[in-house]
């Protein structure tokens, strides 16, 4: 009795490269965020999954200059799958420092593995070899990838051409891994940042010292500041609004506050529960729409991390500029205004409210706060001292914090964030 034919064995590393090409196709052609495409990697081994994601992120972070370089060796661009193979090979050689022969062979094997692109293996081999010989000199003259027009135009208006160029350089540099420590951990690698986060170069998160014990959680240094700005104290009743995935909830709970974590997404709240369980922290979890939910009693403080375009996170999510178009901004700014008004109703007299977004756009930061204050005279802006938080004086802008990806460039940057602290009259 004959059995089913075994699947052909792929060359080492080829599965990850083919999967990376599939991710690139999903982002560039289907216009889907990379996080939504990760189920496509489930058939891969953990190491291959991690490699596929890393390759896709590297290509997306440098797509524009990679294509400019490749176009110098192409008469016309080949079909998408062959182009992806060339982009991956060029990124491996020029960004990651992979040995040229390995990157070239992998690109040829990738097009050979697909019957629709097999006939292009000669072209891919020739172009990849040209990149290996001449690419480094061309690459050294390349500027960082520019932001799309819908985003770059308002950012230049807000921060100037020089500021936006610095942000683009930070995006190209990528992001390290930041941890918020609940307790000191012996043997945990990395360096301590002045704001209190621990920054490491990366690695398998679950294998790091202190993970199983819940001594820390992954959280960008900028994302860790809103909870510090709120300054929750032991015994205070605090609401974390739009709480998932729970980093700020854990910060507030670790400070001793009685925390209610509210989010509209049950799937995302599952992650909050898992994170709380791992760290041994507690919070009341509420799955509800904040625009219709009503608490039983007012809170001492509310932290609102409002939904936004997430334009401050491009150094970690380089797929975002290729998926979003700016059309989302109008609906999101309206939602932010509604959530801010709603959250303010739940703060006791004398209490405080922190509004923040991981956005670089003034329309998602200073504008909704200014409009709210104009219509609510019982509220005032409580100025934030950036230096008291371990930051730098220029982070404070008109009483709020405006963080940018190019801040702390020598340390690896940070996410863009707008953070304002408001106080209700007593």
Average pLDDT, the chain: 95
pLDDT of residue 310 exceeding 50, the answer is: yes
Which residues form the catalytic set? 358
Of the pLDDT bands very low, low, confident and very high (cuts 50, 70, 90), residue 203 is: confident
10 pLDDT higher than 80: no
Overall average pLDDT of the 149-157 stretch: 97
Distance CA 181, CA 210 (A): 9
In CATH, which of 3.40.50.150, 3.40.50.1000, 3.50.30.30, 3.40.50.720 is domain 220-424?
3.40.50.150
Split at pLDDT 50, 70, 90, the class of 5 is: very low
In terms of C-beta distances under 8 Å and separation of at least 24 residues, what long-range contacts does 373-382 make, across chains too? 373/422, 376/341, 376/344, 378/424, 378/425, 379/344, 379/353, 379/422, 379/423, 379/424, 379/425, 380/422, 380/423, 380/425, 381/420, 381/421, 381/422, 381/423, 382/352, 382/421, 382/422, 382/423
315: nearest Cα among 132, 410, 176, 123: 176
Q: Once rounded to an integer, what is the mean pLDDT over residues 284-306?
A: 97
Q: Which residues of 380-407 are buried (b: 16+ CB within 10 A; e: fewer)?
A: ebbebebeebebeeebbbebbbbbbbbb
The pLDDT, as a whole number, for residue 426 is 87
For residue range 42-94, list pLDDT tens digits in order. 999 999 999 999 999 999 999 999 999 999 999 999 999 999 999 999 999 99
Instruction: Identify the pLDDT of residue 9.
Output: 56
Strands 417-424 and 347-357: antiparallel
Distance CA(16)–CA(23), nearest Å, equals: 10
- pLDDT(121) > 80: yes
Domain boundaries, the chain: 14-139, 220-424
Placement of tokens 């208006």 in the chain: 157
Average pLDDT value for residue range 14-38: 96
CATH for 14-139?
1.10.940.10
Q: Which two tokens stand for residue 194?
A: 């002045």
pLDDT band at 4 (very low <50, low <70, confident <90, very high): very low
Q: How many CB atoms lie within 10 A of CB 415?
A: 28
Instruction: Taking residues 369-398, report their average pLDDT.
Output: 97
Tens digits of residue pLDDT in 241-287: 999 999 999 999 999 999 999 999 999 999 999 999 999 999 999 99
Whose CA is closest to 86, among 42, 49, 132, 43? 132
Return the pLDDT at 339. Answer: 97
């Amino acid at each position: 009795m004959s059995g089913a034919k075994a699947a052909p064995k792929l060359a080492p590393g080829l599965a990850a490269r083919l999967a990376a090409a599939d991710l690139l196709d999903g982002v560039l052609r289907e216009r889907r965020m990379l996080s939504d495409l990760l189920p496509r990697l489930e058939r891969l081994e953990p190491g291959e999954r991690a490699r596929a994601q890393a390759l896709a992120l590297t290509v997306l972070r440098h797509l524009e200059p990679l294509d400019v370089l490749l176009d110098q060796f192409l008469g016309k661009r080949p079909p998408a799958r062959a182009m992806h193979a060339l982009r991956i090979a060029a990124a491996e050689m020029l960004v990651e420092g992979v040995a040229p022969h390995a990157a070239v062979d992998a690109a040829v094997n990738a097009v050979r593995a697909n019957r629709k692109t097999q006939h292009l293996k000669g072209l891919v081999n020739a172009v990849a070899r040209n990149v290996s010989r001449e690419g480094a000199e061309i690459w050294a003259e390349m500027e960082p990838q520019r932001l799309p027009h819908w985003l770059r135009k308002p950012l230049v208006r807000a921060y100037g051409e020089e500021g936006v160029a610095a942000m683009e350089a930070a995006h190209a540099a990528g992001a390290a891994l930041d941890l918020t420590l609940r307790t000191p951990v012996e043997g945990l690698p990395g360096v301590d940042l002045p704001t209190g986060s621990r920054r490491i170069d990366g690695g398998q998160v679950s294998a790091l010292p202190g993970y199983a014990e819940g001594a820390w959680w992954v959280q960008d240094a900028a994302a860790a500041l809103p909870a510090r700005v709120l300054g929750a104290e032991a015994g205070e009743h605090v609401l974390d609004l739009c709480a998932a995935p729970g980093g700020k909830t854990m910060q507030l709970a670790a400070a001793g506050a009685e925390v209610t974590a509210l989010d509209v997404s049950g799937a995302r709240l599952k992650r909050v529960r898992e994170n709380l369980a791992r760290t041994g922290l507690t919070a009341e979890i509420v799955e509800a729409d904040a625009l219709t939910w009503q608490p039983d009693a007012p809170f001492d403080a509310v932290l609102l991390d409002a939904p936004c375009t997430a334009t401050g996170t491009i150094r970690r999510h380089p797929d975002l500029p290729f998926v979003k178009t700016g059309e989302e901004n109008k609906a999101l700014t309206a939602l932010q205004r509604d959530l801010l008004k709603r959250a303010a109703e739940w703060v006791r007299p004398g209490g405080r409210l922190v509004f923040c977004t991981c956005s670089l756009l003034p329309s998602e930061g200073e504008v909704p706060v200014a409009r709210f204050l104009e219509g609510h005279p019982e509220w005032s802006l409580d100025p934030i001292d950036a230096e008291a938080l371990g930051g730098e004086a220029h982070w404070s802008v008109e009483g709020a914090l405006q963080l940018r990806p190019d801040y702390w460039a020598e340390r690896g940057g940070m996410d863009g964030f707008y953070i304002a602290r408001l106080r209700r009259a007593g």
